[in-house]
Chains A and B, each alone.
Chain A
């Protein structure tokens, strides 16, 4: 896992307390709205995201910038490249 700090995101999606598959649905929905090159930040406490989000990026050709572990949830950063 790539850990990052202070990544500047263009858009944030807060899905803390939402379970599978909301993390992937939200990711899909938000990426459609973003311009190429923009960065999405996803806040989630769903552990499955640790595996699913990097994999989703690989599959869809988007850049997985990394994650930051916050107090009660994770912050994932994805750049739209596809």
Chain B
């Protein structure tokens, strides 16, 4: 490990954002003096209740929804589980077919697998080389039995923004409910449930400088949903369990700040992102994953040939640069990311996945420092890599020259 004064570049904002100081200040009283249970009738409880309702309004405004349509959950994953299971079960008398895309988060894919085990049929929609769902395939996949389509607003792994409005248009012609996992987008780019036309939408606070352990599900007015958690009357009986008041208050405050700062954050991040993408792609045999233009403003993801993502992460972290390699879950399991494989990226190349996600506090100097270190790290790793053998020696026909050209 290098000196203690080494620059720290946090480029893993899809993993977690630092808590905004205003959000922390808003939360503090609810850990201390305002500790009441929102269901209690005396003033201590009522103050907690009021704080939750204020936060509901703030989260609702972030996505242009009515406050009564927001249900607080413990995470984006819970919101996704709730949406998929809750709608599938509520609509099972109409049909038992659900459609999800192949580039969904595990909280959608594993919920879909659970539904399959429970007697539902699930279609996993293919995507193109940029990770966008195939709309023609979607049209063909809808049957009389289809009750729900779930497609993420954007993938946190490849950053591509999906054509949700078009998906909703196709779904509505066939009277199918649409859920979108907006965990990667809500608070980062404008998300408007009315404009998108979705029936359900998931969010998570730690993606926009709020606390971890706070999520929300938007459920369109009048839509019936089977609860995921039974118990008390919290959240109108739709999500039982004593509320995590500080986290909910934090989510509300973060939503309010994000709403005010979204344009400047997007501008700041996209400038840094473009600089990083342009320069990283100058390194030989490095490819951008996801859509080149229609992507999250803070998202730069690549596959680097001949080396492994984990090795890059380690070397980067030794230089104080924090990034991710595919989704956290896939990287722990040392598996090629199913998202990258579904883009048609070969398994070997998918191992070289690296994802940089920027935030409002990253600076131009961070990007310059990174762009100085990253090519050196790649060179060093390639020197050690058995897979790079023969590459770079000018032999056109060598094994190493055959590279992915899809991206």
Contacts of A22 in B (CB 8 A): 233, 236-237
Pick the residue among A18, A21, A25 that contacts B227 (CB under 8 A): A18
Interface string of B214-231 (1 = CB under 8 A from A): 000000001011110010
- Closest Cβ of chain A to B39, distance in Å, is 11
**Does A14 touch B at the CB level, under 8 Å?**
yes
- Closest Cβ of chain B to A54, distance in Å, is 21
**Does B273 touch A at the CB level, under 8 Å?**
no
User: Which residue of the partner chain B has the closest CB to A15?
Assistant: B237
Contacts of B224 in A (CB 8 A): 14, 16-17
Contact yes or no, A17 B222, CB < 8 A? no
**Does A19 touch B at the CB level, under 8 Å?**
yes
Query: 5 closest Cβ contacts across the A-B interface?
Result: A22-B237, A18-B237, A17-B226, A16-B224, A17-B224
**Does A72 touch B at the CB level, under 8 Å?**
yes
Contact yes or no, B90 A17, CB < 8 A? yes
**Does B319 touch A at the CB level, under 8 Å?**
no
- A15–B230 alpha-carbon span in the complex (Å): 14
Contact yes or no, B225 A17, CB < 8 A? yes
Interface string of A10-33 (1 = CB under 8 A from B): 000011111101100100000000
Interface size range on B against A: 10 to 19
Q: Within residues 209 to 252 of chain B, which ones have a CB less than 8 A from any CB in chain A?
A: 222, 224-227, 230, 233, 236-238
- A19–B236 alpha-carbon span in the complex (Å): 10
Sample of 14 further A-B pairs with CB below 8 A, known A16-B224, A18-B237: A14-B222, A14-B224, A15-B237, A17-B225, A17-B226, A17-B227, A18-B227, A18-B236, A19-B230, A19-B237, A22-B233, A25-B237, A71-B93, A72-B93
The A/B interface has a contact count, at CB < 8 Å, of 25
In terms of DSSP, what is the predominant structure of the interface of chain B? loop
Interface string of A42-60 (1 = CB under 8 A from B): 0000000000000000000
User: Which residue of the partner chain A has the closest CB to B230?
Assistant: A19
Contacts of B236 in A (CB 8 A): 18, 22
Contacts of A14 in B (CB 8 A): 222, 224
Contacts of B225 in A (CB 8 A): 17
Contacts of A16 in B (CB 8 A): 90, 224
Pick the residue among A21, A71, A72 that contacts B233 (CB under 8 A): A21
Contacts of A15 in B (CB 8 A): 237
- Closest Cβ of chain A to B232, distance in Å, is 9
- A16–B227 alpha-carbon span in the complex (Å): 11
Q: Within residues 349 to 390 of chain B, which ones have a CB less than 8 A from any CB in chain A?
A: none
Contact yes or no, B226 A25, CB < 8 A? no
- Closest Cβ of chain B to A8, distance in Å, is 20
Sample 20 A-B pairs with CB under 8 A, ordered by A number: A14-B222, A14-B224, A16-B90, A16-B224, A17-B90, A17-B224, A17-B225, A17-B226, A17-B227, A18-B227, A18-B237, A18-B238, A19-B227, A19-B230, A21-B233, A22-B233, A22-B237, A25-B233, A25-B237, A71-B93
